[in-house]
Amino acid sequence: MKTKIFCDSADFTTIKKLNNNSLVSGFTTNPSLMKLSGAKNYRHYSLKLLKVCKKKPISLEVFGDTFDQMMKQAVIINSWGKNVYVKIPVVNSKGLFSGKVIKTLSEKGIKLNITAVYTVNQVKKILKSINKNSKTIISIFSGRMSDVGKDPVPIIKESVRLTKKMKKVEILWASTREAYNYLQAKKCGCSIITMPPAIIQKISKFGKTYQELTLDTVKNFLKDSRDSDFKI
């Protein structure tokens, strides 16, 4: 199975550029990326992104913390475009499972991206809440697991196994830290991996030989030493 590459960015220029890149199949955003990109008005900025990303799937996240807020925001965000997936955090800031929100929205046929997922138990609870005929992405934050010394691979593999027969459910490898994560996600059977633009650029270098890498490295060292006019 092919693992699709999504770009994890809310930067307008980046999305406009990569929207025409055949390597990129979609986009993911979140409130932190929106803030980083300078968004002041969430609705206006999102609609600006949707003007350049009209067909490829793009995930836009709710930012309310109560379930009523999440529900209301999700319905509005969903109305912005047919290619929109509404991102719902698996729990709110109090640690309460967003099951009611997920169930209600999924039953309405709203495409969802359930985010900030870390455990198989969370995946199981999500699967019990969704309408299996409604498109759903489950974003597992593999990189953040690795950051604290935990191996995400067993969790990803089990999540893929649990959703294997569910054609409308996709497991997404999130918080990508390096290009090699793409090969890991592919080996695990992930439907999607989302990654920052800088890592997408590295994917294009796949296939270089060790000799080419050695020469590239030595040439970079030589260039930097000459540019610095080092002397001993």
153-162 vs 180-188: helix crossing angle, rounded to 10: 40
Q: Which residues are catalytic?
A: 87
Residue boundaries of the structural domains of the chain: 4-200
Structural tokens at position 43: 């609705």
Q: How many CA atoms lie within 13 A of 225 on its CB side?
A: 9
Tell me the pLDDT tens digit for each residue of 150-175. 999 999 999 999 999 999 999 999 99
* Confidence category of residue 205, pLDDT binned at 50, 70, 90: confident
pLDDT at 204: 81
- Class assignment of domain 4-200? alpha beta
Give me the percent of the chain exceeding a pLDDT of 70: 100
All residues at 6 or more sequence positions from 56 whose CB lies less than 8 Å from its CB, including other chains: 19, 24, 25, 26, 27, 83
Tell me the pLDDT tens digit for each residue of 93-110. 999 999 999 999 999 999
Distance CA 194, CA 45 (A): 21
